[in-house]
C-alpha cells in the first residue's frame, strides 16, 4: 500500500497536506520508478578482464570506452548500480520520514478532533444554560406580569378605599357637627350646674342660719307647725347636700377633668410622676354624721391614691404621704398623716374604692368594692378642712368619682 493511499484513508479530505509531505511523496515515487527500471533489465553485461564490456544479449565484446548506445547504456547501469545502495538508504529514510509525518498529521488531526469535541461539548452545555436562562427569564416575565396585575388590583382597591374614605369623612364631618352641638349643650349645662353649685353653699348657709334663728326665737314647736310642704323641702335640703365635683382650679395641669358632672379625671400628659386633684366642696359640718365618696378605677398602670387632704397640699404630691392627709393606695397601704400601714388589700382596674370619715368619732373609712376594710385606731385629726383628693401616677390613668347618694357601700351601716 502506498503512502498516498494510507494518508488518504486517515487524513480528512478538508485537511490541506503540508508541502514537505508532497515533496517526500514525489521523491518516493521517483525512487520507486528508478527501482522498477533497474529490475526490468532482463540481461546484464559482463566486464572482461581487459576492461571491455560483454553484452549478454548479443555475445559481443565492446571496448570499455566505446561510445556505442549499448556501451552508454551499460555505463548508466553501472552508475545506477553504484548509486542504488545510496538511493535505497535515501528511500528508506524518506519512507520513515513519511511515516513520521503521517503520525504527526494523525496526531494533529486527533488533537483537532478532541478540541472540536470539547468545543462541541461546551457549546451544548452553553445551549442548555441558555435554554435554562430563557426559562428563568420567562418565569420572571410571568412573575412580573402577575405583580403588575396585582398592582392594578391594588390600585383599584385603593381607589375604592379612597372613595369610601371620602364618603366616611363626609359622614364623620356631619356626625362631628352633631357631636359638637351636643358638647356645646353639655358645656352650657355644666356651666349652669357650676353656677348653681357655687351659689348653693351660701344659700344653704343662709337657710341654716334662718332655721337656727327660728329655733332660738320660737322653739321646735313652731317648726312643727310649719306647712308640711315646707318642712318636706327643708328636710330634703338637709338630707341631700349639694352635689360635689372635681375642682378645675385645684387640679394639676397634667390632669383633665371631664364629663357632664365633672366627675372623671384623666392623666393626659406623658409622664410617670404624681399629680393630684381636689373636689370643690370640703367635708360638710356636723349636720351629717358620715361623710363618704367612692372612686371607680377605670384605668391604671401602677398605683392610684384615694383619700382626703387639705388644699394646702401641692398638686404634685401624693395624698396621704403629706402631713394632714389620708389615703388608701393601690399597692395595699393605708397612709395616715404621712405614716403608712402596709399589708392591706390592693386594688386594680375596674375596682371601686371608697373613702370617708365618721364625723362623730373621727375614724377613717376605707372600702373596696362595697366591703368595708379594717381601719381600727385610724383617725383624722380635723375633718373640717379636708377635701376629697385623688393622686394619679402615670399617663393614661383614669378615674370616675361618685359623691353620692348611691354607693356600692352603705354609709348608714357605719
Model confidence at 331: pLDDT above 70: yes
Q: Residue 390 — very low, low, confident or very high, per pLDDT cuts 50/70/90?
A: very high
Residue 359 has pLDDT above 80, yes or no: yes
Give yes or no for a cis peptide into 205 (omega within 30° of 0).
no
Flag the least confident range among 22-36, 170-184, 267-281, 287-301: 170-184
Per-residue DSSP letter, 411: G
SS3 199: helix
Q: How sure is the predictor about 185, in pLDDT bands with cuts at 50, 70 and 90?
A: low
- The kind and range of the H/E element at 400 are strand 398-402
Residues with Cβ within 8 Å of residue 364, at least 6 apart in sequence: 326, 334, 336, 355, 356, 357, 375, 378, 379, 380
The residues with which 366 forms a beta bridge, in sequence order, are: 355
Residue 11 clears pLDDT 80, i.e. is over it: no
In this structure, are residues 318 and 303 in contact, taking their beta carbons and an 8 Å threshold?
A: no
Q: Measured between alpha carbons, how far is residue 265 from residues 299, 371, 399, 402 in Å?
A: 11, 24, 5, 12
Residue 178 has pLDDT above 70, yes or no: no
**What's residue 27's pLDDT?**
72
Mean pLDDT for 86-99 is 82
Domain 250-413: which topology? Jelly Rolls (2.60.120)
Q: Specify the higher pLDDT residue, 127 or 190.
A: 127
Confirm if 271 and 284 have CB atoms less than 8 A apart: no
pLDDT in tens, 49-60: 444 544 444 455
Mean model confidence pLDDT for the chain: 78
Residue 155 has pLDDT above 80, yes or no: yes
Per-residue pLDDT tens for 204-247? 455 555 555 555 555 555 445 544 555 555 445 445 556 899 99
When pLDDT is averaged across residues 135-151 and rounded to a whole number, the result is: 90
- Given this model, what pLDDT does residue 327 score? 97
Mean pLDDT to the nearest integer, 343-349 = 96
Is 50 exceeded by the pLDDT of residue 405?
yes
Average pLDDT over residues 126-131: 92
Q: Are residues 235 and 262 in contact, defined by beta-carbon separation less than 8 angstroms?
A: no
Residue bearing the bigger pLDDT, 72 or 17: 72
Peptide bond into 405 cis (omega under 30): yes
What's the confidence (pLDDT) of residue 45? 45
- Domains of the chain, by residue range, sit at 3-131, 250-413
Q: What is the pLDDT of residue 56?
A: 47
Give the per-residue pLDDT at 75. 77
pLDDT grade for 38, boundaries at 50, 70 and 90: low
Where does the pLDDT of residue 184 fall: very low under 50, low under 70, confident under 90, or very high at 90 and above?
low
Q: Average of pLDDT values for 378-404? A: 94
Is 29's pLDDT higher than 70?
Answer: yes
pLDDT mean over 359-378: 94
pLDDT at 167 (0 to 100): 83
pLDDT band at 130 (very low <50, low <70, confident <90, very high): very high
Beta-carbon neighbour count of residue 384 at 10 Å? Answer: 12
Amino acid at each position: 500500500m502506498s503512502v498516498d493511499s494510507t494518508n488518504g484513508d486517515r487524513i480528512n479530505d478538508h485537511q490541506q497536506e503540508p508541502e514537505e509531505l508532497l515533496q517526500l511523496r514525489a521523491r518516493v515515487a521517483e525512487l520507486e520508478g528508478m527501482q522498477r527500471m533497474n529490475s526490468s533489465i532482463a540481461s546484464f553485461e559482463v566486464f572482461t578482464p581487459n576492461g571491455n564490456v560483454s553484452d549478454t544479449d548479443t555475445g559481443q565484446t565492446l571496448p570499455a570506452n566505446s561510445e556505442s548506445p549499448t556501451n552508454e547504456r551499460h555505463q548508466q547501469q553501472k552508475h545506477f548500480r553504484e548509486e542504488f545502495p545510496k538511493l535505497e538508504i535515501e528511500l528508506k529514510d524518506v519512507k520513515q520520514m513519511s511515516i513520521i509525518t503521517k503520525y504527526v498529521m494523525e496526531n494533529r488531526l486527533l488533537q483537532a478532533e478532541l478540541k472540536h469535541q470539547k468545543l462541541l461539548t461546551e457549546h451544548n452545555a452553553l445551549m442548555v444554560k441558555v435554554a435554562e436562562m430563557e426559562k428563568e427569564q420567562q418565569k420572571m416575565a410571568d412573575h412580573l406580569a402577575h405583580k403588575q396585575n396585582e398592582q392594578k388590583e391594588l390600585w383599584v382597591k385603593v381607589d375604592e378605599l379612597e372613595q369610601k374614605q371620602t364618603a366616611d369623612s363626609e359622614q364623620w364631618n356631619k356626625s362631628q357637627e352633631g357631636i359638637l352641638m351636643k358638647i356645646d349643650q353639655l358645656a352650657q349645662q355644666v356651666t349652669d350646674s357650676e353656677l348653681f353649685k357655687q351659689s348653693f353653699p351660701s344659700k344653704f348657709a343662709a337657710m341654716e342660719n334662718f332655721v337656727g334663728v327660728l329655733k332660738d326665737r320660737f322653739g321646735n314647736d313652731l317648726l312643727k307647725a310649719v306647712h308640711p310642704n315646707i318642712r318636706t323641702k327643708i328636710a330634703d335640703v338637709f338630707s341631700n347636700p349639694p352635689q360635689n365635683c372635681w375642682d378645675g382650679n385645684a387640679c394639676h395641669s397634667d390632669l383633665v377633668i371631664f364629663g357632664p358632672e365633672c366627675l372623671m379625671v384623666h392623666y393626659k400628659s406623658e409622664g410617670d410622676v404624681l399629680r393630684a386633684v381636689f373636689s370643690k366642696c370640703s367635708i360638710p359640718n356636723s349636720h351629717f354624721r358620715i361623710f363618704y365618696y367612692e372612686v371607680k378605677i377605670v384605668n391604671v398602670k401602677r398605683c392610684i391614691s384615694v383619700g382626703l387632704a387639705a388644699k394646702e397640699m401641692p398638686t404634685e404630691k401624693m395624698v396621704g404621704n403629706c402631713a394632714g392627709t389620708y389615703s388608701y393606695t393601690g399597692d395595699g397601704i393605708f397612709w395616715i398623716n404621712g405614716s403608712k400601714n402596709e399589708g392591706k388589700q390592693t386594688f386594680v382596674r375596674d375596682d371601686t374604692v371608697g373613702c370617708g370619715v365618721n364625723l362623730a368619732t373621727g375614724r377613717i373609712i376605707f372600702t373596696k368594692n362595697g366591703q368595708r376594710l379594717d381601719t381600727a385606731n385610724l383617725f383624722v385629726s380635723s375633718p373640717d378642712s379636708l377635701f376629697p383628693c385623688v393622686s394619679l401616677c402615670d399617663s393614661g390613668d383614669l378615674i370616675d368619682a361618685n359623691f353620692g347618694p348611691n354607693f356600692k357601700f352603705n354609709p348608714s351601716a357605719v
